[in-house]
Amino acid sequence: MVGRPVSAVCFWTNVSELYGRVGIEARYHTSRRMIPPIANDFVAGEEPATAIEHVTACNRDGVAGILNLLGEHYSQRPPADADTQAYIDLIADLAETGVAGCVSVKPSQIGLDVGVDVFEENLAAIVEAGQQHGRFVWIDMEDHTTTDVTLDAFEKHALGTDGGVGLCTQANLKRTREDIERLADLPGKIRFVKGAYDEPAEIAHKDKAAVDAAYRELLEYAFREFDDGIAVGSHDPAMIEYAADLHAEYGTDYEVQMLMGVREDAQRDLAADGVATYQYIPYGGKWLSYFYRRLRERKENALFALRAIVGR
């Protein structure tokens, strides 16, 4: 890269100032021109057809796709219902095209902030579509205030579909070890991530070393105790290597999941080595608000994103 290096602080400040000084529509279109690597490298376009094209390209390298329509924290029912229908249509499109891909939904996107009953109704409709078309449905985990209702929803649908759904768990939350003990005998898959939300210190590990240690402990427990698949949601080479060692020791099926735009060479290498590999692929028009919120949740994410953009 030629020219003056970009600092993470400068990057964070520029994005924050951009949000503060322009209107929603203007900042969307202006930002798309100003910071194209974010749109081009981390989000698979705005339309489902474009996202499916991206999954098709991933499939050629042996990598499957997990599609996520951008949107979250809706306080009114109409947008939650609209995104629910969009997921139902997307599942049908995935089945029709025959690509190796599934979907991942956020509880607050399909109505949790409107009401638990709305979330449960909309999730049930998406899971039913997944069953109808033979497509797996992941349930993302959001901040700690949503953990219990999300666990309950997963348990219900894991049993009701005999494992047609998956759940994300976060190693930074101190409660997660007890949670996965509850989940160990359920069908379905569990995705293990370190956690992106800036949670209170009384309920979450704040030190990186503590989070890493918790992540390793959770993986070891899961490979030892789980019968169904494990998803290692990490870009950390050490954790991916540790998962391979655990697989060799316990024989438990697993897959590796990484974000679009991050270590894609490693994704292709893992797939070529016979490791089930999935790319988590956001798409849709809300890409800027998605990226901005990820930065605000933890400033470490700004450094992570910056390395992904300029460290090529």
Beta-strand runs (E) in the chain: 64-69, 101-105, 137-139, 165-170, 189-193, 230-233, 254-259, 276-283
Distance CA 154, CA 176 (A): 15
Residue 261 has a pLDDT of 87
- Report pLDDT for 299: 53
Instruction: For 43-68, give the secondary structure using H, E and C.
Output: CCCCCHHHHHHHHHHHHHCCCEEEEE
**DSSP assignments along 220-236, one per residue:** HHHHHH-SS-EEEE---
Domain boundaries defined on the chain: 43-287
Residue 141 has pLDDT above 90, yes or no: yes
User: Which of 27-41, 111-125, 222-236 shows the lowest per-residue confidence on average (mean pLDDT)?
Assistant: 27-41
> Which tens digits make up the pLDDT trace of 247-287?
999 999 999 999 998 899 999 999 999 999 999 999 998 87
Dihedral of alpha carbons 156, 101, 81, 285, sign: positive
pLDDT tens for 75-105 read 999 999 999 999 999 999 999 999 999 999 9
Residue 22 predicted with pLDDT over 50: no
Question: pLDDT band for position 42 (50/70/90)?
Answer: confident
Say what the pLDDT of residue 304 is: 55
pLDDT at 133 exceeding the cut of 70: yes
Residue carrying structure tokens 């997944």: 130
Name which of 28-32, 112-116, 161-165, 265-269 the model is least confident about: 28-32
Q: Is the pLDDT of residue 134 over 60?
A: yes
Phi-psi region of 98 (alpha: psi -120 to 50; beta: other; left: phi over 0): left
Residue 282's DSSP bridge partners are 68
pLDDT tens-place string over residues 194-234: 998 889 999 999 999 999 999 999 999 999 999 988 999 99
Q: Please give the structure tokens belonging to residue 6.
A: 């970009």
How many angstroms from the chain centroid is the CA of residue 272? 23
- Report how far residue 42's alpha carbon sits from residue 11's, in angstroms, rounded to the nearest whole number: 16
- 43-287 carries CATH number 3.40.1180.10: no
**What torsion do the CA atoms of 51, 57, 63, 67 make, to the nearest 10 degrees?**
0
As a whole number, the mean pLDDT across the chain is 86
Rounded Cα–Cα distance for residues 18 and 6 (Å) = 16
53-62, 142-151, 256-265, 289-298: least confident range:
289-298
Hey, which residues are catalytic here? 140, 191
User: Helix or strand or coil: residue 19?
Assistant: helix
pLDDT at 310: 52
